[in-house]
Amino acid sequence: MANQVIKVSKDTLNKMKQTYQKNILNKVVPYTHFVAKVGATTITAYTSGKVMFQGADAEREAAKWGAALSPKTSTKSKKNSPSLPAGFAQRSAIGSDEVGNGSYFGPVTVCAAYVEKDMISKLQALGVKDSKELTDDQIVKLSKVIKELIPYRLLVMEPKKYNEIQPKYNAVHMKVALHNQAIFLLLRDLDPIKPEGILIDQFTPEGNYRKYVRAEKNQVMEKLYFVTKGEQYHIAVAAASIICRAAFLEELTKESQELGYTVPSGAGAKSDQVAARILKQGGLSLLENYAKLHFANTAKAQKIAEKG
């Protein structure tokens, strides 16, 4: 199936809606202005201003309104990372990313997401990109849409479990174990489909990653690629980033609701103050349910609690 994506102004979008009024389908699709069917071509107009044409006459229909967008890549990705095959951004691939490792409160979340090449343009039109470029509200809403469109595996390491494992696993080993397990489970879900590659948002040298994977029961070692800022090289990493960021935010909200006051992300002075409040309320046995105790914030919070 041919795919064409164009970017149009609000005025053009309104004209398109008027033109295709009789062809608009009676269906509600998140993040869209309308979905229309013209002959063999489906036209999806997104709130981002991008319009996707799918079908045998996609190119001809799209050409009436504007030029097709080139695949979105950064300067780095145009040159291709030395570790990635040429044209990797347009291949069917798994992307893997994690969130929460640097936050005192909340879990570590890891997601592996599979994006087929035919789905890339649709995710781009939806506005899927690096989660750092999106607001928290956008992330939570977009995550729900992405999870309906692509296969994924999400792992959430709650603080209490994190604290139990942390003395045996350092932070890097723990992330490697989580990435490996998420990828393994997703590959099992996809079988017999085989992705053309697995891109991990790099957080440690490849040799180090592979060393820690050898200690795991279910080892995934083939077709692995490692690049920092992986979302710039394949949209699967961006999708995984959004899903695990949304899960992290949802867990922080749950923690805040349980305690009755806001639990912050990060590891700054606010975290010290909130941790001190929790310590006064229930000691380390309560704090271990919400925070990663080996962080320096714990000692700072204990001093604040003693003074108070």
Q: Which pLDDT belongs to residue 79?
A: 45
Give the range of the structural domain holding residue 147, as residue numbers without chain letter: 82-253
- In a domain? residue 259: no
Q: Do 177 and 296 sit in the same domain of this protein?
A: no
Quote the pLDDT of residue 2.
Answer: 65
pLDDT for 74 beyond 50: no
The pLDDT of residue 75: 37
Is 258 within a domain? no
Does one domain contain both 30 and 124?
A: no
**pLDDT (tens digit, 9 = 90+) per residue, 209-220?**
999 999 999 999
If asked whether residues 86 and 25 sit together in one domain, one would say no
Same structural domain, 111 and 181: yes
Q: Do 33 and 9 belong to one domain?
A: yes
Instruction: Answer for the pair 219, 180: CB distance below 8 angstroms, yes or no.
Output: yes
Residue 76 has a pLDDT of: 43
- What is the average pLDDT across 140-148? 94
Amino acid at 81: S
Beta-carbon contacts of 62 under 8 Å, excluding residues fewer than 6 positions away, are 4, 5, 6, 51, 53, 68
Is 283 a domain residue?
Answer: yes
**292 within some domain:** yes
Check whether 14 has a pLDDT greater than 80. yes
Same domain for 176 and 111: yes
The overall pTM is greater than 0.85: no
What integer pLDDT is reported at residue 19 of this predicted model? 87
The larger pLDDT score, comparing residue 90 to residue 8, is at: 90
Sorting pLDDT into bands at 50, 70 and 90, what band is 78?
A: very low
Is the domain of 32 the same as that of 102?
A: no
Question: Are residues 86 and 216 located together in one domain of the fold?
Answer: yes
Residue at 77 is within a domain: no
278/289 Cα distance (integer angstroms): 10
**Position 29 pLDDT exceeds 80:** no
Query: What is the per-residue pLDDT for 53?
Result: 83
What is the CATH number for 144? 3.30.420.10
pLDDT at residue number 26:
85
Residues 92 and 159 in one domain: yes
